[in-house]
Amino acid sequence: MRPVQLNRITVQEAADRYLELVRAKTTTGALSPATAEVYSRDVLTFALIAGPERVLDDLDGPDVDAALLAFGRKPDGRRRDGAGEPRTQSPTSQARFRRSVSAMFKHALRAGWVQVDPMTVVTVTARERGGLRAERRALTREQATGLIGAASSIAVGAESGGPRRRDQRTGLRDALIVLLLTTVGPRVSELVRANVEDFYTGDGVRYWRIFGKGGRTRDVPLPQDVAAVLDAYLAEGRRPPAAGPAEKALLLSWRGRRLARGDVQAVIDRVRREVEPERRRSVTPHGLRHTTATHLLADAVDMDAVRRVLGHSDLSTLGRYRDELPGELEVAMRAHPLLRDR
């Protein structure tokens, strides 16, 4: 039952109050100390990611989606790869984190801290393999154009913003990343592997030679707007090191190193914050690949052309990348080809 009066407390205050309840359950034996410790760690981490000073009731589904995905990318100091670098959170830890956050919001609804439980509208779910993933991957047309518009505005601002510190000269790069992912749909590995020499001009058209899976390459023409941002980035936004392994890399960190796969999601999130709230939705790099395929196919682009853009070896793979869009059946029937002349 919805409480009579809403108590607008901050995320940090909600976490502290909820953890008092968790500790009380420990003393009564309802929760084990180990379980209580896990709840405490997860809830405090969520508060830190979501913004401790924000009002809890102001968090919506996309805010919680972004926090869940951000946790999945957090380094786990207890797990190391072959090179000794920290791995990201395991799928088990990510699923547990989602359960902890869900339990806190259920209590928040009963306590009158939120009007609606945002967990009922989040799109990020826990997978047995791969951890937390957005359930609906492709952006709608409004969401995609909102993201593209935000990236384009950032690019314009970066070109006219005057001199900045090295760590602030990333506007053109961030805009280019989002535009390439949304309109061309490369795999994130293909994007971060790209070198400057992979882009060339033929008959007035800018092409990207993408080195994909299995040693296969494909030459994809860039939309004119994307090509313009690429040229601006190469002319003004890219500051390559004098020499070294990253000398040829297209995408560089502000320190002059080749951008890593894990950095791309942070770039998308940064651009997404500039989108109008009603068109904003959390999305992964692979979700933008789905967005490219979905909207090209929905606009009746030849299936084989879409296959070649995405770098699939056969048409059957496209089925996995074609997501449903709200209202598409209604649009199709309104524009029925057999009734168009009438």
Q: Are residues 126 and 148 in the same domain?
A: no
Q: Are residues 155 and 130 in the same domain?
A: no
Q: Is residue 338 part of a domain?
A: no
Measured over the CA atoms of residue 213, residue 219, residue 220 and residue 222, the dihedral's sign is positive
Of the candidates 80, 106, 213, 255, the residue annotated as catalytic is: 213
Model confidence over 14-53: pLDDT tens digits?
999 999 999 998 888 888 888 889 889 999 999 999 999 9
- Which domain-ending residue is among 86, 110, 134? 134
Of the candidates 258, 289, 295, 307, the residue annotated as catalytic is: 289
Active site residue 286: yes
Model confidence over 287-301: pLDDT tens digits?
899 899 889 988 888
59 or 75, greater pLDDT = 59
Domain extent at residue 51: 11-134
Q: Are residues 145 and 100 in the same domain?
A: no
Of the candidates 98, 133, 187, 307, the residue annotated as catalytic is: 187
Could you tell me if 32 and 93 are in contact, meaning their C-beta atoms sit under 8 angstroms apart?
A: no
Active site residue 136: no
Active site residue 289: yes
The whole model's pTM is what? 0.63
Q: Which of 37, 62, 34 is nearest to 50 (CA)?
A: 62
Q: Is residue 180 part of a domain?
A: yes
Model confidence over 234-264: pLDDT tens digits?
988 787 766 666 678 999 888 888 898 888 9
Model confidence over 127-139: pLDDT tens digits?
766 677 665 578 8
CA distance 146 to 152: 10
Q: Are residues 287 and 181 in the same domain?
A: yes
Q: Is residue 3 part of a domain?
A: no
Q: Are residues 178 and 57 in the same domain?
A: no
The total domain count for the chain is 2
Q: Are residues 110 and 151 in the same domain?
A: no
Q: Evaluate if residue 158 carries a pLDDT over 90.
A: no
Q: Is residue 220 part of a domain?
A: yes
CATH of the domain at 43: 1.10.150.130
Q: Are residues 96 and 152 in the same domain?
A: no
pLDDT band at 78 (very low <50, low <70, confident <90, very high): low
Q: Is residue 26 part of a domain?
A: yes
Q: Are residues 60 and 196 in the same domain?
A: no
Could you tell me if 94 and 132 are in contact, meaning their C-beta atoms sit under 8 angstroms apart?
A: yes
Q: Is residue 333 part of a domain?
A: no
- Three-state DSSP state, 342: coil
- What is the average pLDDT across 320-331? 68
Q: Are residues 119 and 267 in the same domain?
A: no
Q: What is the pLDDT of residue 31?
A: 83
Q: What is the pLDDT of residue 3?
A: 44
Calculate the average pLDDT of the chain: 84
- Distance of CA 221 to CAs 138, 216, 224, Å? 22, 17, 9
Q: Is residue 167 part of a domain?
A: yes
Q: Is residue 337 part of a domain?
A: no
Q: Are residues 87 and 35 in the same domain?
A: yes
Q: Evaluate if residue 11 carries a pLDDT over 70.
A: yes
CATH of the domain at 175: 1.10.443.10
CA distance 117 to 41: 21
Active site residue 321: yes
Of the candidates 18, 39, 233, 321, the residue annotated as catalytic is: 321
pLDDT band at 172 (very low <50, low <70, confident <90, very high): very high
- Which domain-ending residue is among 67, 101, 134? 134
Could you tell me if 238 and 259 are in contact, meaning their C-beta atoms sit under 8 angstroms apart?
A: no
Active site residue 281: no
Active site residue 200: no
Long-range contacts at 322-329 (CB < 8 A, ≥ 24 apart): 322/293, 322/294, 322/297, 323/136, 323/137, 323/138, 323/290, 323/294, 325/138, 325/140, 325/141, 325/294, 325/298, 326/140, 328/298
Q: Are residues 151 and 107 in the same domain?
A: no
